[in-house]
Amino acid sequence: MSLSILRLAFIFGLVSALVYSLAIRQAEAAPQTVARDAQALALIASSLKALTGPVSVNDVVLQASANYVAGSDEESGTATLTGSGNQESLLQLNLSGGSRQEIRNGPAGAWSGPDSTPHSMAIHNCWTDASWFFPALTLEAVANNPQTSVSYLGTDTSKGRPLLHLQVTRVPAGQTADVATLILRLSTMDIYLDPQSFLPLVLDFNVHPDGDANTNIPLEIQFGNFQSFSGGLVPFRIQKYLQGSLLLDLVVTNVSINSGVPASLFTLPPTTGGGQ
């Protein structure tokens, strides 16, 4: 083989390697599009005005009576729900069958049942909002986070009456296309607003088995009995449905907003595996 042919082969190989390397780097740094629908943002602003008035909510503590239903297991008692922003929360249930607790802290979480043994939550179940029980925190996070996509999907009648349908997803920067697509799916939340009052009545999202991020289990939060509090409105009835069956029924008895909840409250304990 002549020297010129060898030189051409070497140059071709070098160029191919450079092109492949550049393609990999571009995939790793692929910019993700954040869609922030102006109509959706206007509806969120109207909803926040109805919920909080001029006040920006940073944290909340709800005290409530609680009914918990899991198959044939029906328990009653009290609950304390604490949220800070949309990334930190603590749910404490003191029930007739024992205590239950869930902690969320950013992309991680832990839960414990009546035996008080803490278990870790699967990371793929930590992409939706930790503050699912207080919609003002969710809506404020959407309004203020430029890495959150939000779309208005029109009027929806699937809940038995016409509601305004918003869809929210997270778009974290610096992810590959495959990872960004996965996070988009895991973080998707559907918010339904009353068309007259703009109050959020329903929040839908999926949870997943610990070992299977691809199996969707529908979860729905319904908000009702909105009452005046500190110049705004707070849902005093919160119901959590898993696959269409009522799992948790909360009747709020006391509300504290912007009390300065310490970050230490959301410290995750040492945990074992999942399996909730």
In this prediction, residue 133 carries a pLDDT of: 98
Enter the tokens of residue 80. Answer: 């304390």
In this prediction, residue 13 carries a pLDDT of: 46
Lowest mean pLDDT: which of 11-25, 26-40, 142-156? 11-25
Confidence of residue 266 (pLDDT cuts 50, 70, 90): very high
Q: Containing H/E element for 118?
A: none
Enter the tokens of residue 165. Answer: 């349908």
Q: Which carries the bigger pLDDT value, residue 26 or residue 162?
A: 162
In this prediction, residue 254 carries a pLDDT of: 97
pLDDT, the chain, mean: 89
- Rounded Cα–Cα distance for residues 103 and 130 (Å): 9
CA-to-CA dists, residue 169 to 34, 55, 58, 191, 204, angstroms:
9, 25, 21, 11, 12
Lowest mean pLDDT: which of 10-14, 83-87, 219-223, 226-230? 10-14
Burial code of 157-168, b = ≥16 C-beta within 10 A, e = fewer? eeeeeebbbbbb
Confidence of residue 230 (pLDDT cuts 50, 70, 90): confident
Enter the tokens of residue 42. Answer: 């206007």
Whose CA is closest to 234, among 119, 116, 134?
Answer: 134
Confidence of residue 275 (pLDDT cuts 50, 70, 90): low
CA of residue 257 relative to chain centroid, distance: 20
- Rounded Cα–Cα distance for residues 30 and 189 (Å): 24
Please check the confidence at residue 26 and state whether its pLDDT lies above 70.
Answer: no
Give the contacts of 13 (CB within 8 A, at least 6 positions apart).
none
Please check the confidence at residue 276 and state whether its pLDDT lies above 80.
Answer: no
CA 88, 119, 260 angle in degrees (round to 5)?
A: 20
Please check the confidence at residue 6 and state whether its pLDDT lies above 80.
Answer: no
> What mean pLDDT comes out for the span 262-270?
96
In this prediction, residue 21 carries a pLDDT of: 44
Enter the tokens of residue 122. Answer: 């699967």
Please check the confidence at residue 11 and state whether its pLDDT lies above 80.
Answer: no
In this prediction, residue 20 carries a pLDDT of: 41
pLDDT tens digits along 42-81: 999 999 999 998 889 999 999 999 999 988 889 999 999 9
CA of residue 185 relative to chain centroid, distance: 12
CB 57 within 8 A of CB 49: no
Q: Containing H/E element for 210?
A: none
Please check the confidence at residue 16 and state whether its pLDDT lies above 50.
Answer: no
CA-to-CA dists, residue 27 to 50, 165, 173, 179, 181, angstroms:
43, 33, 13, 11, 13
Whose CA is closest to 57, among 190, 252, 231, 266?
Answer: 231
> What mean pLDDT comes out for the span 195-214?
96
Whose CA is closest to 47, among 161, 256, 227, 195?
Answer: 195
Place of tokens 């009702």: 224
Please check the confidence at residue 15 and state whether its pLDDT lies above 90.
Answer: no
- Rounded Cα–Cα distance for residues 161 and 165 (Å): 12
CA-to-CA dists, residue 117 to 70, 113, 137, 267, 272, angstroms:
19, 7, 29, 15, 8
Please check the confidence at residue 27 and state whether its pLDDT lies above 70.
Answer: no
- % of the chain with per-residue pLDDT over 90: 76
